[in-house]
Structure 1
Amino acid sequence: MSSLSATLTVWAGSWLAGDSAPDDVIDALHQWAPMHIIGAADAETALSTGLDWPGVQDGAAPILLRLVRHATEADGTELRLVLPAPGDVRGLPAGTEFARAALAAGEGVIVGEPGRSGLGLVPVVEGPDVLRWTVFGIPSVPATVEHTGLGEAEYAMREAIRDAADALLQLSSVRTGRPGTDPRRRIAEALDDRAHHRYPDSVPVRALRILDSADQVAAILAVAEDDSPTEAPSASSAAAREQLLRPLWTAVRTARVAAVSACVRSAHRA
């Protein structure tokens, strides 16, 4: 699983459909950290959700389930993953505190019916082994971004794996003298870390393939950006590296959102 928000979206969707138990969702969340805390973003949200404000409370996972259950009781409500990045804010409710927090975190979950008020959930690392969830009120849940089909997403990931590998060869870099290990080993370690986060049995096979492919591409890109013992030799080379990798990161986010959305839709239809 690529992010805490993806974990909550997929597992909560499976639970709402009756395919997973509440303990399954809680166990999946706790794979990220043993302690989760939760609080409201403001007094109004605290009043509507029963959360603490200011301050936080322990036992966030069961509280998240309660909030998701309550927010999805009406017909037409959605459980939606968002993975924003600078220059790519698709799916965010413009001008909201939730949008700003989700962009800073690079992830979030929207719960609600498009055009009506809803909730936004954003996780951040609070400290060693502690994750904090902040709950935001969303005045109007934005319309669903046009779905990327699984066929299109799978094809895009096959192309991205090739392009990411080519990008590593194209990057102009020089040795920095920093200690490092073989890039292939770093990629394998990153993928092994992701493998500890399991998916519900109800996840469609094609969606699972897409998520696995997206993890492969992300691992390669992370090595190219941060983990390599080399660095771009000039500012222009650094800019060229960013320009080369940015569309690949966009493809990864698009594929992940498409696959997670398909998981939720499949669970809902079941």
Structure 2
Amino acid sequence: MAMASATLTIWATAWLNGKAAADDVLDALTTLADRHDVVAADETTAAETELPVAGKYPAPLARLLAALRTRGADAGSLALPAPGDPRGLGGSGALVGAALNAGEASVFAAAGLALVPDSPADDVVRWTVYPHSGDAGEHVGISEAEQALTEAIRASAATLADLDVARERPDAHDALRVRLRRAPSPRWPDGMPGRALRVLQRADEIAAILELAAADEPGGAVSASAARHRANALRPLDTAVRQARRAAVGEAVRLLAQPVTRP
């Protein structure tokens, strides 16, 4: 659900900076799921945000937007943690564990909050609000991330070719097209930078290829050792995809958070 946190981060930032209406945020998120619910992870966070605690009847997404503004949020960031790589997160073990399980989070450091999505039912996204340390985390430049993605693609392809474990799949291109076509296509706010869109699209395409590769284990590997080498070859590509997505969202946030200049 990486697209869920990316979509909320970008649209909420646009709204917080007067670049979008609240209804625009809600409409954009309904392209991902018809219903979005919100709960707080603990009693303290519930009291501070005036949101229901987990286990109680959830609040609508509009209440989350109000809580972000009340707590002084100005811009968000995307966290895409993986085991051994919790970059972009700061806070309790509960937050880190939930974000690792989801593979994503939307962080609003100035508000001291992080939002983790999960899907308790079909066409429902539930956002759980956790306290965050307020550390904005490292900045990932979009040029650096785009270059790293290109280099990871080359390195992974060369390694797999050397290992001779990339099994020929006659249906691979069709499967990839189907996977990309089925992925939700969120709307983006006016002012969304074209470069960020291009990097997000490229990262999505590579992520779809990685998902197909994972579903095709052992991918033509003739031994357990070769399968391990194959997994090791793909791991840097997964890291580069996550970094590219974070950088693309960061670039969009940077531009959307700039003050509106009046003539």
TM-score scaled by length of structure 1: 0.85
- Cα distance, 1:57 vs structure 2: 3.4
- Matches of 1:53 and 1:258, distance apart in 2: 32
Contact 1:37/1:57, CA 8 A, preserved across alignment? no
Contact 1:124/1:131, CA 8 A, preserved across alignment? yes
Q: Which residue of 2 aligns with 1:85?
A: 82
- Matches of 2:83 and 2:33, distance apart in 1: 27
Q: Which residue of 1 aligns with 2:129?
A: 135
- Cα distance, 1:2 vs structure 2: 4.5
- Cα distance, 1:143 vs structure 2: 4.2
- Matches of 2:112 and 2:69, distance apart in 1: 12
Q: Which residue of 1 aligns with 2:140?
A: 148
Alignment of 1:247-258 (within 5 A): 247-258=236-247
Q: Which residue of 2 aligns with 1:99?
A: 96
TM-score scaled by length of structure 2: 0.87
- Matches of 1:223 and 1:183, distance apart in 2: 8
Secondary structure of 1:198 counterpart: coil
- Matches of 2:22 and 2:150, distance apart in 1: 35
Secondary structure of 2:107 counterpart: strand
Q: Which residue of 2 aligns with 1:7?
A: 7
- C-alpha distance after superposition, 1:122-143 (max 9, x if no partner): 00010122221111123x2224
Gaps of 5+ in 2: none
Residues 20 and 167 (structure 1), Cα distance of their counterparts in 2 relative to 1, 3 Å cut: farther
Residues 167 and 190 (structure 1), Cα distance of their counterparts in 2 relative to 1, 3 Å cut: farther
Residues 227 and 9 (structure 1), Cα distance of their counterparts in 2 relative to 1, 3 Å cut: farther
Q: Mean alpha-carbon deviation: is it higher for 260-269 or for 129-138?
A: 129-138
- Cα distance, 1:121 vs structure 2: 0.7
Gaps of 5+ in 1: none
Contact 1:34/1:129, CA 8 A, preserved across alignment? yes
Calculate percent identity across the aligned residue pairs.
44
Q: Which residue of 2 aligns with 1:121?
A: 115
Contact 1:35/1:58, CA 8 A, preserved across alignment? no
Residues 167 and 126 (structure 1), Cα distance of their counterparts in 2 relative to 1, 3 Å cut: farther
Residues 136 and 223 (structure 1), Cα distance of their counterparts in 2 relative to 1, 3 Å cut: same
- Matches of 2:226 and 2:218, distance apart in 1: 16
Residues 200 and 171 (structure 1), Cα distance of their counterparts in 2 relative to 1, 3 Å cut: farther
Q: Mean alpha-carbon deviation: is it higher for 215-224 or for 250-259?
A: 215-224
Q: Mean alpha-carbon deviation: is it higher for 11-20 or for 233-242?
A: 233-242
- Matches of 1:204 and 1:198, distance apart in 2: 13
Contact 2:207/2:241, CA 8 A, preserved across alignment? yes
Output the aligned Cα RMSD: 2.6
- Matches of 1:142 and 1:13, distance apart in 2: 17
Q: Which residue of 1 aligns with 2:149?
A: 157
Match status 1:72 vs 2:76: no
- Cα distance, 1:96 vs structure 2: 2.9
Contact 1:35/1:131, CA 8 A, preserved across alignment? yes
- Matches of 1:42 and 1:194, distance apart in 2: 33
- Matches of 2:156 and 2:24, distance apart in 1: 34
